[in-house]
Chains A and B, each alone.
Chain A
Amino acid sequence: MRYWHHCKEGETYHTDQITLSERDIFEFAAEFDPQPYHLDREAGDNSIFGGLCASGWQVCALMMRLLTDTFKNNDIVLIGVQGVPSMRWKIPVFAGDSLSGDIEVASLQHSSDRDDSGLMICDVKVKNQKNEYVIALQASLYVAHSAQASL
């Protein structure tokens, strides 16, 4: 296992890739973001996005999935997310897009509100199959200090 004190500033982790289907977009939108441009092709074509596209919150959720899997693959014990200091939606995500991310450790800080973990501030960039960035964010993550914390 890798704990907070094992992690180093400047390290970069590369995530796996997730491909999003039209059905995935409809399903998420129907439950959480039922706006026309996420539910209907024609409405998408006529919208500011220029096509049927995924809810921005679905893109965030998929980022979280990529990050969670990547930390697991690297044996880093993630206790939770403290916050997202900033996040930008850069371009829309369309059906069939494949997303993957780069997670760079920007800084490591002591946590004032949790004894069991330290903060890892990461710069996260998620790109599509054309290497265009779809979202960029900072995420402030709680990473366990020891095996004790993960119990």
Chain B
Amino acid sequence: MNKKDTQNLEQKRYIRSRWFEDIPVGEFHVFGSHTFSEKEIIEFGTKYAPEAYHTDPQAAFDTPHRGIVASGFHVAAIWMKLMVSYMERFADGVQDGRRNGAGIGVEDMVWFHPVRPGHTLTYTYEIIAKPEKIIRDKWGIIRSRNEAFNQYNERVFSFEIDILAERNPNPDAACKRELMDNPR
């Protein structure tokens, strides 16, 4: 492995394994894209939102949506899928914890445009706040604004979410330095 690769790997480990204190407000990531197939839209709709406009391509033409569209919570579930995948890429050797905190709540979730078969959404997140609150002695809250854009660059989906991140039990330690010196 050359020096550049080693640096990249260390940077990736660092992103996944950061403590609450090390995650900066303003950080922005374009973290993944997904193309919605008709098959998966129908599968999700049949299980969780059985309306003609999610399940039946023919009958869907006779609804106000004029064709099949993805369930809003399908669009949200794909956000989770891409987020986990993105974090996993940074996870080499990092054990459970820290960024693996639970989501606690969502604000202002809006679906602006329909997502149709063949549409490709690209998802982004930005860290917008770190509310001053400590949960169960060791978790802090990371608030992010998340958006998804379709292939026409229309914003189709947006929400804010609060996710727990573990606080550094030893906040004075130079966490970043330590990780760089002793990558897990």
Is B39 located at the chain interface by the 8 A CB criterion?
A: no
Number of interface residues of A (CB under 8 A): 43
Q: Which of A84-107 contact B (CB under 8 A)?
A: 84-89
With A36-B96, A46-B96, A57-B76 as known contacts, state yes or no: A65 contacts B109, CB within 8 Å.
no
Which of B47-55, B126-134, B147-155 is near enough to bind chain A? Answer: B47-55
Contacting pair B64 A79 (CB below 8 A): yes
Contacting pair A87 B73 (CB below 8 A): no
Select one of B63, B73, B105, B111 contacting A86, CB under 8 A: B105
Is B100 located at the chain interface by the 8 A CB criterion?
A: yes
Residue of B nearest to A36 (CB): B96
With A60-B73, A86-B106, A89-B103 as known contacts, state yes or no: A80 contacts B50, CB within 8 Å.
no
Is A3 located at the chain interface by the 8 A CB criterion?
A: no
Cβ of A103 to closest chain B Cβ, rounded Å: 15
Binary contact track B85-113/A, C-beta < 8 Å → 1, others 0: 00000000000100011111111111100
Binary contact track A43-86/B, C-beta < 8 Å → 1, others 0: 10011110000011110111011001100000000111111111
Is B164 located at the chain interface by the 8 A CB criterion?
A: yes
With A36-B96, A61-B77 as known contacts, state yes or no: A87 contacts B84, CB within 8 Å.
no
Interface residues on B, range: 35 or more
Complex Cα spacing A37 to B76, Å: 19
Complex Cα spacing A78 to B53, Å: 11
Contacting pair B76 A86 (CB below 8 A): no
Is A22 located at the chain interface by the 8 A CB criterion?
A: no
Complex Cα spacing A68 to B47, Å: 11
Q: Which of A7-38 contact B (CB under 8 A)?
A: 31-37
Residue of A nearest to B114 (CB): A80
Select one of B53, B81, B111 contacting A33, CB under 8 A: B81
Is B21 located at the chain interface by the 8 A CB criterion?
A: no
Residue of A nearest to B40 (CB): A31
Contacting pair A60 B76 (CB below 8 A): yes
Is B146 located at the chain interface by the 8 A CB criterion?
A: no
Is A151 located at the chain interface by the 8 A CB criterion?
A: yes
Chain A residues near B73 (CB, 8 Å)? 57, 60-61, 64
Is B72 located at the chain interface by the 8 A CB criterion?
A: yes
Chain B residues near A47 (CB, 8 Å)? 96, 100
Residue of A nearest to B160 (CB): A86
Contacting pair B105 A83 (CB below 8 A): no
Chain A residues near B104 (CB, 8 Å)? 88-89
Chain B residues near A61 (CB, 8 Å)? 44, 47-49, 71, 73-74, 77
Contacting pair B50 A151 (CB below 8 A): no
Q: List 12 A-B contacts (CB under 8 A).
A: A31-B77, A37-B100, A48-B164, A60-B73, A61-B77, A64-B48, A65-B49, A68-B51, A79-B63, A80-B72, A86-B105, A144-B64
Q: A58-B77, A87-B109 are in contact. List 5 more A-B contacts (CB 8 A).
A: A68-B51, A69-B50, A86-B105, A149-B64, A150-B63
Q: Which residues of B contact A (CB under 8 A)?
A: 44, 47-51, 53, 62-65, 71-74, 76-78, 80-81, 84, 96, 100-111, 136, 139, 159, 164
